[in-house]
Structure 1
Amino acid sequence: TLTKLNLSTYRIKYAGTQCLGDALRYNTTITTLNLDYNRIRYVGIRRLRDILRYNTTLTTLNLEVNQIGHPGARRLGDGLRHNTTLTTLNLRSNQIGDIGAQSLSEALQYNTGLTTLNLHYNKIGNVGAQSLGEALQYNTTLTKLELCSNSIGDVGAQSLGDALQHNTTLTTLDFMWDQIGHMGAKHLADGLRHNTTLTTLNLRFTKIEDVEAQSLSEALQYNTALITLGLWKNQIGHVGAKHLADGLRHNTTLTTLLFYDNQIGHVGAKHLGDALLQNTTLTTLELGQNEIGNVGAKFLADALQHNTTLITLNLRVNRIGDVGAQSFADALQHNTTLTTLNLSQNGIGDVGAQCLGNALKYNTVTLILSLSIPHLYLHFFT
């Protein structure tokens, strides 16, 4: 029995959607329909709207890159108001804008089935984000909302942050590449203080600086649900690292902190190292490309001698050199919980490699190195 129908890149236009609409309107077996990278546009969405109104088995619909615009989003919204079975809708790169986001938001206040909504790359601004925030205060089923690479600023982030104080079902919220600003981050942090369900928050590439990091840190001291916090490629320095370290000392649920490519330096590494001495829940720490040097490496290595929960530590591209490698070699002779240590592209030579090799006689960690050949990763197992 056919349950998945993949029509990706078939150049389907209006006539094709007419045929699909007729075939799927009362179909009782197909659960997944993939129509990404076609040419459906808003005219063809009318037939898909009818599918959503009458079909009772379709659970996943992928319409990525179909140029449906805000008229198409409005028609989909009409279909979603009456649909109770669709759980996943992908509208990535469809230029729906604020008007389209408003239409979908209105539907979310009535829809009781959708759990995942992907709105990446849709030119949604603050107005659209405000509408989504209002919808989240009433919606009780959506668990994942992806808003990567839109035009959401601090006003839109404020609305979504306010929604977090009331919403009890959303578990994943993605703001990557959005410019949420200082006030936006503050409102998101305020929402996190009271929220008890969000487990993953992605704030990569959002130009967060030390002040915003402080707001998030204060939220971490109260939040008891967040598990993963993504802060890759922001502008957080050692001051912001200190604030986050303070949050980690009190937080008891965060397991993954993704902190790649910020500017914490060796001082920030010291603050995070001190936090690792007290934190008992963090299992993954990503600190690649943070200019911590051999001094910062020693602070973190010293912390590893006492920490009993961290499993994965990524320190690639940090210029720790042979001296830093020696520090981690010493730590590995005492630490018994770390399973993966990434020290690639750190200028480690023969001396540092030998120290690490000796440490592996006593430790079962997977060590990732790039020695004389760039991008060549060697895995050592004892």
Structure 2
Amino acid sequence: MSANEDELSPVFSSPFYDAIQRFEDLLSQSGRAFLIGAGCSKCAQLPLMAELTEKTLESDGLDDDSKNILGSIQGLFNGSSPPAHIEDYLSELVDLIAIANRRGAKNAVAKTVTLGDVEYSEEQLLAAAEQIKQAIAGIIGGNVAIGTHRRFVEAVHRSRRPGKVTANQSVDYLILNYDTLIEDSLALCRVPYADGMDGGVSGWWNPRTFDRQDLGARVLKLHGSIDWHELPETTLPYRIADKVDMSEGQEKRILIWPASTKYRETQLDPYAQLADRARRALNPLRGTQRVLAIFGYSFGDSHINIEIERALKGSAGDLTVMAFTHEDAPVGKLKEWHEDQSISDQVLIFANKGFFHGQDIRQSDQPLLWWKFEHITTILEGGR
């Protein structure tokens, strides 16, 4: 028995095997969407948020101003629970940029923002934000082990279990990560998909690509992507090949948004367009069944949580959420949904030490580990 099979053996035994069958049956019979968070990238040898934070703080790509700004913001989060990470720091920074920008637009005397007894201009804050994004892109943009993600895409789009019929509809992938693992896997598995970009290695933002009729998947990068860039004349992203020289006065900024930023990006396209597409993916037409499977997400993004909850409550039972969590039992937002009688029957929770679905609660005295992305992939492949 392989290490994978050994770790999974408890979930293929009573009383949890029935929960696995529910998971498979829902995915094979309903319109499907997947919400994929940072935890799904660990098996590709990309860092989790704590490690990404540490690596970014230590990055040689940050100049003295940026290091001081980031260090001061980190200090503001001392004692936070759960511990703050680089996206929280970046969110704080872009909020500070908005403050400086608003003061400047009103010609206020105090145009700067004070951090650690040092005053910083909007330009210094913007430079720091860009350097932090560049550092993040450098950390997660290197070589990756894509094997598990390819297997996952194959399992989702080409069912391998005899007797299991995979739903024919286009699959919506709601991606919270900046990496391109899902897009690369879809391409390598020859699944026609749209991510809002038109063109080729270099491309431009064109949301009409999402409306193509031949799509096997739509990829909604809700927080942007490390291969998206913003040029001075527009906030809409471009995909620019590495070999393209942009030195002719064309500043190329990485277009990613931290999870909780309230800065201008969240109100403009493409973010607003992506949010609208995600909302459509979560809200099925009345009488049409829809399932949202959530992997690798810690429910730390209030915007995402609000949209899921609204969709659950507005769907009249047509939306089902299946959430996999490393927590032993539902906590935070998942606990709220499980205890909310108006929607609890629509929420299936696959926790580390139990299965929770309304009044159906099955607890385990040992870790189930079905929340690991590599194990989810094995289950989808029909393995056990």
TM-score w.r.t. structure 1 length?
0.27
Tell me which protein shows more strand as a share of its residues. Answer: 2
Query: Larger relative CO (CA 8 A, sep 6+): 1 or 2?
Result: 2
Higher Cα Rg, which structure: 1
TM-score w.r.t. structure 2 length?
0.27
